[in-house]
Chain A
Amino acid sequence: MMLFLLIFLGAVVAQLVLPWWIVGPVAFVLSFWRGQTGGRAFLAGFSGVGLSWLLPAAWWQVHTGSILSQRVATLLPLGGNGWVLALVAAVLAGLLGGLAALAGVWLRQAFRPRPPQPATADASMAAK
């Protein structure tokens, strides 16, 4: 849960100033640092990065009355549905985030197979 939050917040903040692909390094580094198992890291990366797209996309969807997303969803083609387009975009970004997070935790496991056992509350919560 903690890793998911970290990736989500890290991805949002980084993308405000940096190109979109920064989500990969963000998920990778955070998961290298705090990731536990591969499956959970992937999920955290997928949902953290995915949500970092889904929420703002949904906001633009509502705010702009989806004039443009409808057109793009016709072009791509996704039946002209802007919400489907938002979901597809989020899954795409999530996939990248998940893979990057998985790579992060796998690399950490490669030279330190056991996760760190610090006494902080965060870590113990994350370990549960």
Chain B
Amino acid sequence: MLLYIRALLLLALTGALTWVLNTQQGTVPPMGKFLSPYQGFWRNGEADDDFPTAQTLSLPGLQQPVQVRFDDRHVPHVFAQNDHDLYYAQGYLTARDRLWQMEFQTHVAAGRLSEIVGDSRLETDRFFRRMGLKHGAEQSLKVMMADPTIGLVMQSYSDGVNAYIQSLTPRTLPFEYKLLDYQPEPWAPLKSALLLKFMAFDLSGRSDDLRMSNILAKYGPAVVKDLFPDYPQREDPIVPVGAPRDFTPVPVPEVPAAFQAALSSKVPQNEPDAELGSNNFAVSGAKSATGFPMLANDPHLQLNLPSIWYQMQLVAPGVNVYGVTIPGAPTIIIGFNQQVAWGVTNVGADVLDWYQLKFRDASKREYWHDGRWKPVRRQLETFHVRGRPDRVDTVLYTHHGPVVYDEDEKPFLAETPIRHALRWTAHEGANEVLTFYRLNRARNYQDYTTALSTYASPAQNFIFASTQQDIAIWPNGRFPLKWRDQGKFVLDGTDPAYDWHGWIPQAHNPHVKNPERGFVSSANQFSAGPEYPYYIGWDFAPWDRGHRINERLITMTKVTPDSLRLLQNDDLGVNARTVLPRLLQLVQPRQLPADQRRVYEELSRWNYRYAANAIGPSLFELWYPNLVKRIWDDEFGSTPEQPMRYPSRDRTTTLLLKEPNARWIDDQRTPTRETLAELAQKSLQWAADSLTRKFGPLGPEWRWANQKSTDILHLAQLPGFGRMDIDCGGGAGIVNATSQRNGPSWRMVVALGPQPRAYGVFPGGESGNPGSRFYDDMIDTWRVGQLDELVYLTSPTQKHRRLQAAWTLQ
């Protein structure tokens, strides 16, 4: 009997151990399944010779055979015989390399992360649902699917992704699914739309409306006008001042009587990073060495692995385009074909506003607008939290948009109810994919402007060059037709005068074609000068990058692709060049202790270049922000009860250079009266002390690359799956915008001509598989500012020394 009990107990123990090893335990993966060399992660490792150099894959639904060739960076060059097959193959091949990334990001955008990782991300999910990303994606999807061309593109792409998903086995499942222990679900066109809305959030999801309302309430309109002006002192706008206007402006709405929002205590958390920005520039044939225009683009985004972009060449009747796609969305977003090249940078226009609401009663079923009570639409959002029961959340929708921040759902803060509705261009249904579909096929300026006409969000500076010798740039998107400063502060949600009143006619968006100076450029600065007849925003990126690009382009002649590459890697700090001489002048070096005097001398010798080995930037990038904080924090620092913001860098510069006696310099929290010189000296000492604590006495260890420490992290921030402490220069506000976590996510230079010659690199690789050499094989090329020549084929049988594999899909 004892023998039986002993045996059965052990059997039960063995069974339990099996179960434990086959099941995710908290965040620990199911170890047995995961570590098995038969089906676990080992099978995701890729040796170089594992990649078939020739194979034929049978895929359901393809109409005709598709030829695919892979080059030595594993970029697929796709030759299809019709649109259906082209986008089907794009979906299939992208999923083959990036499925997990595609699905993960759409889960984030759709507010479904907690389905994968459990209730730790439920608040993130609630936030994205309440911001209405899915709502916006559904609106756009309706418009896109109603268009026969784009409907086909979206559906074919989705079918291609699904063909890959259906081919997966437990062994071939991408690594992250094994680690996090879940399965991919079928793809759908909505997911592609969600990705575009996610980009819209990343690029236009910020707002300072509530902070500005708080500042207005505390300091009044005169201070706001002085410290937060609608146009900076130093600016170099995208459309040059004085460029001729080719449209007659429509009347803008009247400014309503003054409204001041009630003081509010919260702004939405999880705002996208302010450092996101981008550069693009194009020079005319007259300025280039070849006599044809050249174009460059480098969008700056968070540095992640798998890479944000995926390179592809797509060829079918009527199209032969090369460039980068967003994994999960069809067409090429930034690229070139035989006749044209185009690129994008973000427009920092104000396309997101908050409306203060007045509900009839606590039930919030009706809100006051235009002299009557209007019904609130209530949308239930269900969260399938992994390992927990479902959660349901109610989101209120007004005609403005969703009520994102609804304090009444958190009883512990019920005494300060905040009821703001969000109005945002990303909620508008629009056919952005049609824009890119047309750009992929564009042959001339006319095609380009036609393509831009349907684009809504996120607004982008579309730069353009063609073999017909045209260069142009359009800050383009759907911009609300506003009265001046509408949306600079929180808006009155009860008065229709505060509603958005239609759109700036698309043809009136700022633009310039073939300007006299022989180049066009953008770096997220103001789209146009003060003479532009419409109000599109008051706060754009500082002028630093844009001004530096322009001052260099003005002097360039006989431009080659390499000159543009070098310009993308320019590391001069305009802000340092502008204010450092003044800061050094404010400090009396003789009053400094010996070690700090050496620091002062080091800074005096600095040439304002953010090189990896330079010590100047390590010091200046601590000194300057600390000084700014000492100047503004006592008046404009944020508290949880009253979030505010500092005046812009431009305004601070004016204060530093010209207003040494401004009332803002004194620290009101101390009884003594501080001077600018005292603040400058204290903040320099603070900077030197910080670096001494971190790296020891002044020496080579203080180099900028050490202090900045650029990291490229895995999308799920898995230790061991990113690339840390990358040795490179650049920084925020520098043309080479490589900061700690953000940077050029794709650098491209295109020289148009009888045959386009193009160069590009991104900080990662084509494969999303961390077990592949192609996961991060381009990082070192990117790090040192080099570019790969891009293989642009004109036929599927073309010989090229860099082609490595030829597949047929049928």
Contact = CB atoms under 8 A, between A and B. Distances in A.
A110 B772 CA distance: 51
A82 to B, nearest CB: 9
B33 A65 contact: no
B35 A89 contact: yes
Contacts of B11: 28, 103, 107
B38 interface: yes
B32 A92 contact: yes
A63 interface: yes
B18 A71 contact: no
Interface string B45-67: 11100100000000000000000
Given A56-B42, A96-B32, A24 B772 contact: no
A19 B170 contact: yes
A96 B21 contact: yes
Contacts of B43: 60
A79 to B, nearest CB: 11
Contacts of B293: none
A107 B14 CA distance: 13
B584 to A, nearest CB: 44
B10 interface: yes
A19 B18 contact: no
Contacts of A125: none
Contacts of A28: 11, 14
Contacts, number: 128
Output the residue of A16, A69, A85, A110 with the most chain B CB within 10 A.
A110
Contacts of A96: 14, 17-18, 21, 32
A93 interface: yes
Given A56-B42, A96-B21, A109-B7, A67 B773 contact: yes
A57 B3 contact: no
Nearest to A11: B38
Interface string A44-61: 000000000100110110
Contact of A69 (B7, B42, B47): B42
Interface residues of B, number: 42
Contact of A64 (B8, B13, B46): B46
A110 B14 contact: no
A103 B10 contact: yes
B704 interface: no
A39 interface: no
A33 interface: no
Interface residues of A, number: 45
B186 interface: no
A10 interface: no
Contacts of B39: 15, 19-20
B32 A74 contact: no
B187 interface: no
Contact of B772 (A67, A86, A99, A111): A67
Contact of A106 (B6, B18, B773, B775): B6
Nearest to A58: B37
Nearest to B776: A67
A68 B42 contact: yes
A119 interface: no
B38 A67 contact: no
Contact of A70 (B15, B33, B37, B720): B720
A67 B21 contact: no
Interface string B3-36: 1101110110111011001100000000111011
Interface string A93-110: 101100110110011011
Given A20-B40, A64-B45, A93-B32, A103 B7 contact: yes
A111 B3 CA distance: 8
In terms of DSSP, what is the predominant structure of the interface of chain A? helix
B721 A110 contact: no
A123 interface: no
A111 B42 CA distance: 41
In terms of DSSP, what is the predominant structure of the interface of chain B? helix
A115 interface: no
A56 B719 CA distance: 25
A72 B483 CA distance: 56
Contacts of A88: 35
A59 B188 CA distance: 39
B3 A56 contact: no
Output the residue of A72, A80, A95, A106 with the most chain B CB within 10 A.
A72
B22 A21 contact: yes
B336 interface: no
Contacts of A56: 37-38, 42
Nearest to A25: B18
Contact of A92 (B15, B35, B771): B35
Given A68-B45, A110-B4, A20 B36 contact: yes
B32 A63 contact: no
Contacts of B718: 71, 75
A74 to B, nearest CB: 3
Given A68-B45, A68-B771, A92 B7 contact: no
Nearest to B772: A67
A106 B38 contact: no
Contacts of A59: 37
B21 A21 contact: yes
B770 interface: yes
Contact of B7 (A57, A67, A71, A106): A106
B41 interface: yes
Contact of B8 (A24, A71, A93, A107): A107
A113 interface: yes
A60 B18 contact: no
Interface of B: 3-4, 6-8, 10-11, 13-15, 17-18, 21-22, 31-33, 35-47, 50, 170, 175, 718-721, 770-773, 775
28 contacts: A15-B38, A19-B33, A19-B170, A20-B32, A21-B18, A21-B21, A24-B14, A56-B37, A59-B37, A60-B37, A63-B47, A64-B771, A66-B45, A67-B770, A67-B773, A67-B775, A68-B175, A69-B45, A88-B35, A93-B35, A93-B36, A95-B17, A96-B17, A96-B21, A96-B32, A99-B10, A102-B10, A107-B11
Given A57-B42, A65-B47, A109-B3, 13 more contacts: A56-B42, A64-B45, A68-B42, A68-B45, A71-B718, A71-B720, A71-B770, A75-B719, A75-B721, A89-B37, A96-B21, A107-B7, A107-B8
